[in-house]
Amino acid sequence: MGVVGRILGTITEYTKHLDEEVDKGFDLRKWGDLMKFLHGLQVQSQMLIDLFQRASSLLGYAPSSYIEAGEILLKEGIISEEDFKFFRSVVGFRNIVVHEYFSINLNIVNKILRKREYRRILHLANKVYNTLREKGLDP
């Protein structure tokens, strides 16, 4: 299994663990819950970013930014405009959690968890992985 496949496997695990923790219930006003979920969502976001960068590389590109990696996959027809818009939001979320932590909107984090929007990361990662496999990349 190649790097993209291994990243996908880890995203799958993180998604499963996020589901398990959300099933237990949470209160983002509690420090432990907030830190647990912010960290899990941040790492899951970073894994998708890493997957996009690796996929772009396998296609023969050297993206200079996270967003450029998404633009390459869009240009190559691997993701849709809607997928790209979602990817941009994932990059933005990750950047806020890592660099602008003082401006985290807990209502957004709550919505991501309650609606299980983090599962979209797994869906998108699978889409990219499957397309690469069809092209004979990331064996």
CATH number reported for the structural domain that contains residue 69 in this entry = 1.20.120.580
What is the rounded distance in angstroms from the CA atom of residue 1 to the CA atom of residue 10? 13
Number of domains in the chain: 1
Does some domain include residue 104?
yes
**CA angle, 124 as apex, 121 and 127 as ends, to 5°?**
150
DSSP sequence for 11-55: HHHHHHHHHHHHHT---TTSHHHHHHHHHHHHHHHHHHHHHHHHH
- Give a yes or no: residue 35 inside a domain: yes
Residue 139 is assigned to a structural domain of this protein: no
User: What does the pLDDT profile of the chain (139 residues) look like in tens digits?
Assistant: 799 999 999 999 999 999 999 999 999 999 999 999 999 999 999 999 999 999 999 999 999 999 999 999 999 999 999 999 999 999 999 999 999 877 899 999 999 999 999 999 999 999 999 999 999 997 6
**What is the domain range of residue 129?**
3-134
Rounded CA Rg of the chain: 15
- Predicted TM-score (pTM) of the model is 0.94
